[in-house]
Amino acid sequence: MRLPAWLRKTLVAAITVCTFGFVAPPASLLAAKEPPPDDASSSDWQHSSARSAAEAVSLTREQFIEETMEKAVAQSYEKFGRKIAPVIEDEFHAVILPRIEGVIAELAERCPEEELRYLAVSENPSGGQGERIFHLYRMDTGEDLVRFHVRREHPPQDGYWFQFHYHIYDDGFQDHHELGKIYWSKNTPPNWRT
């Protein structure tokens, strides 16, 4: 059984403090490395959806786009948390969401309509300072098709910006395809999901 990171760290600290550092914590507690917070294999990251690949129902392109956008908005607001969302929501709705919808519509056009039922939106956006908002993936294979991310930028003397972008399967998720930027302020923004 794999212990959560917070519990491992607590146990290591407790053992160290209680024994004044004379007894080393078990190697199993020390060796358990966490994946990077924005890694697609992260334990808090999962491909899950309200519908499974086995029970996927046929969707028209319009239904697919509408359903996907509802989930995209929900995952975005979960990512922003209660501290960031109220500050950026107007600009997010006006600038970023229409561009996300355009990318989703383009994917829907390229995909045969009978296969749209296998496409889903990931859950559990990354917290802290991770970039992941949500991914569009195939439920039948688990393969990511589009990854929607946001990162913080802090140009010198310019305050903080949220830079929204996406990565696509076609180029191996290497290129940043920009969706837009939203200005935060000169102050450091809180962590995601807070």
CB-CB neighbours of 45 under 10 Å: 19
Share of the chain above pLDDT 70, in %: 75
User: Residue 10 — very low, low, confident or very high, per pLDDT cuts 50/70/90?
Assistant: confident
Share of the chain above pLDDT 90, in %: 68
Residue 145's φ and ψ, nearest 5 degrees, are -115, -45
pLDDT in tens, 157-186: 899 999 999 999 999 999 999 999 999 999
Which residue ranges make up each domain of the chain? 1-33, 61-183
pLDDT of residue 33: 46
In Å, how far are 5, 77, 156 from 35, measured between CA atoms? 11, 24, 30
pTM for the structure as a whole: 0.73
pLDDT in tens, 65-100: 999 999 999 999 999 999 999 999 999 999 999 999
Q: Which residue has the higher pLDDT, 13 or 150?
A: 150
Under a CB-based contact definition with an 8 Å cutoff, are residues 8 and 32 in contact?
Answer: yes
Closest CA to 53 of 102, 117, 103, 114: 117
CB-CB neighbours of 55 under 10 Å: 9
